[in-house]
Structures are given as C-alpha cells and as structure tokens.
Amino acid sequence: MEELISGIPASCGTFSGKVRIVRSLEEGMKLQEGEILVTKCTDPGWMDLLFKAGAVATASGGMLSHPAIICRELSKPAIVGLTEKVFELLNDGMEVLVDGNKGTIFKI
C-alpha cells in the first residue's frame, strides 16, 4: 500500500473503503453508508453524516475537535489536521485505508 497523507490520529481503528469528498453540508447527500467522509471540518449539524460514514478524515482540527470527539464516541477511525492537501491527493471513489491508530491514509 502507498502512503498518501498523514495527520493527527484522532480515533483508533482502521477502515477501508471509498472516499467521498464533501465540501459543505449541502453536499452531504452524496455520502453513501460506509464511505469515508473527507471534509474540511464538521460541526454538530454534520451528525447524520458522521453516523453514516465508515471513517472520517478532515483537513483541519485537533484531538478536541468535533469530528475527533464524535468518532471516538462512535468507535469510528478518524484522522484530523490533514491540511488542504488532502483534497489534491484524494478523489471521490478512490479506495483507501484510513489508519486512525497512526493517522495515515493509504491507497489500496
């Protein structure tokens, strides 16, 4: 597997699946059950999407950010603080592995 990008490991576990880039809450309907939600940041309005996602990766945030806390509560892998570069490296439908233990996303 090829390492694509690393950030802050925010919630333990691993998950492999398809990437879904969601740049705004209005685009949230694109996310299918079990896809990997990749976004800039989240807030409480994104709860339905966090429940639906298999894993979460955000460009911003830290260990106490909204997605980090919620993903730990939901036992879903999450990586935060990936920077805007994540949108250059990942595309919708790309198969990746999110390693929430190491804070790294790998191309499958």
- pLDDT tens, residue by residue, 43-87: 999 999 999 999 999 999 999 999 999 999 999 999 999 999 999
pLDDT computed for residue 93 by the predictor: 98
What is the band of 1 on the pLDDT scale with cuts at 50, 70, 90? confident
Token pair listed for 54: 């298999």
**Which residues lie below 8 Å from residue 75, measured CB to CB, with a gap of 6+?**
11, 13
Cβ pair 5, 106 in contact under 8 A: no
CATH of the domain at 83: 3.50.30.10
| Average pLDDT, rounded, for the chain | 97
What pTM value is reported for the model? 0.96
Residue 9 has pLDDT above 90, yes or no: yes
Structural domain count of the chain: 1
Cβ pair 53, 74 in contact under 8 A: no
* Residues with a known catalytic role: 66
Q: Domain range holding 39?
A: 2-107
Given the DSSP bridges, would you call strands 36-39 and 14-21 parallel, antiparallel or unpaired? parallel
